[in-house]
Structure 1
């Protein structure tokens, strides 16, 4: 399910949304490496709670496309590369986009609500955990018909949550907020009624 065997061209053709998001994140990361210009992009886009409170609301969106270092973006984009395609195939392009974006946004909103005004963060991990949450909703609906899916997905989510609380410098609220948002959207998108409606179109 999460073993990628496509070549580069096939991957872009089959999963255009995931491929575009990965490319966008990589391009922005490269731009932030440029002296002076990179710092401006980074600090204008990062999520800073007190600046959001003063009206710079775009930061809850832009910060999901910024990363603090090579291993930060490597981990997030590898996770998206691995887990994103199957969800894009199941949910469809538009629904996948909403899961990815809204999970990242509401993860940052949760951070804004529960962290101090000085708290600042960047990264796509809220969106990544939103993907995990959507899979959890799929597990809920298929628990009796596809028990093997639960055996694959739930250990990934559990390990991810454990690492969230064990690793330093992790935005816990972005992870939890993203996970919950993805789960709720998944419950809405993957309900038997909605899936039947998709197939009848």
Structure 2
């Protein structure tokens, strides 16, 4: 369920919302990091800052989801890698619009309670962690109340990650605990509404099946004896993504 076997092209075609969310977060991080207007406009006007939210700048509850630490790559890589792992199965099960709703709702829910708990706190908060915990919270609902939707090994993975993640939220410095906890609660609370009439994840659903039942003569077969570099491009790209994700995971633990 959480093991990715798709090629790069298949991943983009099968999970367009997950792909788009990852692309948006990475693009915004690059803009903030490399271009002056990125920090002056996107960062300054988009991060969560409770005193300004209190004054009516409510868009920050949304924009803060897509902004990450410009001074470190581990934050954005960890959240993107989490989307690569846990997003595809849920996008297939719920559909594009429901999945996007879960991501945005739980991210906003976590940011809203970050504001509610300390509305005058002069602390900047940003990142998609609240939405990531919202996705895990929805999986947790399935574990308790819709066991047929998630296999036992995947259930164990979710429980272990949640236990470690919640504990780390309290013991690591500079963590938005409210976003993590209330994002998790928001995802769990959406379960009874969102999971209705949902089918279990099937890795072969919507994939194109190639019919090799007929054998045909290929007149260009001799021209195809070149180095098949395209065959190695996809594994190389996936290896790079996994490597970056592991670096993000290590950075999140240390």
Aligned residues: 194
Q: Which residue of 1 aligns with 2:91?
A: 88
Q: Which residue of 2 aligns with 1:119?
A: 123
How far 1:146 sits from its partner (Å)? 5.7
**Is the counterpart of residue 180 in structure 1 residue 185 in structure 2?**
yes
Counterparts of 1:139-178 in structure 2, within 5 Å, are 139-143=143-147, 148=152, 149-178=154-183
Q: Which residue of 2 aligns with 1:17?
A: 17
How far 1:144 sits from its partner (Å)? 7.3
| Aligned mates of 2:186, 2:15 — CA distance in 1 | 22
| Aligned mates of 2:80, 2:89 — CA distance in 1 | 15
Change (3 A) 1:59 1:152: same
**Is the counterpart of residue 135 in structure 1 residue 139 in structure 2?**
yes
Question: What is the DSSP-based 3-state SS (H/G/I as helix, E as strand, rest coil) of the residue aligned with 1:4?
Answer: coil
**Is the counterpart of residue 108 in structure 1 residue 150 in structure 2?**
no
* Greater gyration radius: 2
Question: What is the DSSP-based 3-state SS (H/G/I as helix, E as strand, rest coil) of the residue aligned with 1:3?
Answer: coil
Q: Which is richer in helix? A: 1
| Aligned mates of 2:16, 2:149 — CA distance in 1 | 29
CA deviation vs aligned residue, 1:66-115 (integer Å, no higher than 9, x gap): 00021110111111111110111111111100110011001000000112
| Maintained 8 Å contact 2:142/2:149 | no
Change (3 A) 1:36 1:144: closer
| Maintained 8 Å contact 1:137/1:190 | no
Structure 2 unaligned runs (5+)?
200-254
| Aligned mates of 2:111, 2:161 — CA distance in 1 | 22
TM-score by length of 1: 0.91
Change (3 A) 1:145 1:58: closer
Question: What is the DSSP-based 3-state SS (H/G/I as helix, E as strand, rest coil) of the residue aligned with 1:170?
Answer: coil
| Maintained 8 Å contact 1:46/1:59 | yes
How far 1:34 sits from its partner (Å)? 2.7
Change (3 A) 1:16 1:141: same
Q: Which moved more, 1:144-153 or 1:122-131?
A: 144-153
| Aligned mates of 1:39, 1:195 — CA distance in 2 | 41
Question: What is the DSSP-based 3-state SS (H/G/I as helix, E as strand, rest coil) of the residue aligned with 2:83?
Answer: helix
| Aligned mates of 1:146, 1:37 — CA distance in 2 | 44
How far 1:167 sits from its partner (Å)? 1.4
RMSD: 1.7
